[in-house]
A = this chain, B = another copy of it.
Amino acid sequence: MTNDPGPDREQLEREVYRKVVTIRFAELRIRDHVEKEGFGGFWHPGIGQEGLQVGAVSAMQDDDYLYYAHRGLGYAFAKGMPLEPLFGDLLGRASGSTRGKGGGTVHFADASRHVLGQGGTLGSSFVMGAGTAAASQLLGDGRVTVVFFGDGASGRGTWHEAALQASVWKLPVVWICENNGWALSARFTEQSPTEHVADRAPAYGMPGVIVDGQDAMAVHDATAEAIDRARRGEGPTLIEAKTLRIRGHYEGDRQPYRDDPVLGDEIPNDPVHRLGESIPDDVRRGIDAEARTQVEQAFDAALAAPRADRSVIFEDVWA
Contacts and interface: CB of A to CB of B under 8 A. Distances in A.
A190 B167 CA distance: 10
Interface in A184-205: 190-194, 199-200, 202-205
Contact of A204 (B159, B190, B193): B193
Interface stretch (A7-15, A55-63, A150-158, A265-273): A150-158
A191 B168 contact: yes
Contacts of A134: none
A167 B193 CA distance: 6
B155 A160 contact: yes
A91 to B, nearest CB: 36
A202 B206 contact: no
A164 interface: yes
Nearest to A236: B193
Given A157-B156, A157-B159, A164-B155, A202 B199 contact: yes
Nearest to A197: B203
A161 interface: yes
A156 B164 CA distance: 10
Interface in A118-177: 155-161, 164-165, 167-168
Contacts of A165: 155
Give the interface centre of A160, A167, A200 by most chain B CB atoms within 10 Å. Answer: A160
Contact of A200 (B159, B168, B203): B203
Contacts of A161: 155-157
A295 B205 CA distance: 45
A63 to B, nearest CB: 27
A256 B155 CA distance: 38
Contacts of A200: 203
Nearest to A199: B203
B202 A194 contact: yes
Contact of A156 (B155, B160, B203): B160
A168 B187 CA distance: 12
A199 B164 CA distance: 13
A187 B161 CA distance: 17
A202 B161 CA distance: 18
A137 to B, nearest CB: 16
A316 B160 CA distance: 35
A6 B191 CA distance: 44
A205 B155 CA distance: 14
A265 B161 CA distance: 35
Give the interface centre of A193, A202, A203, A205 by most chain B CB atoms within 10 Å. Answer: A193
Given A168-B192, A168-B193, 9 more contacts: A155-B164, A156-B160, A159-B160, A164-B192, A164-B193, A167-B193, A193-B206, A194-B203, A194-B205
19 contacts: A156-B157, A156-B161, A157-B158, A157-B159, A157-B160, A157-B161, A160-B160, A164-B192, A167-B193, A168-B190, A168-B193, A193-B204, A193-B205, A194-B202, A194-B204, A194-B205, A199-B203, A202-B202, A202-B203
Interface of A: 155-161, 164-165, 167-168, 190-194, 199-200, 202-206
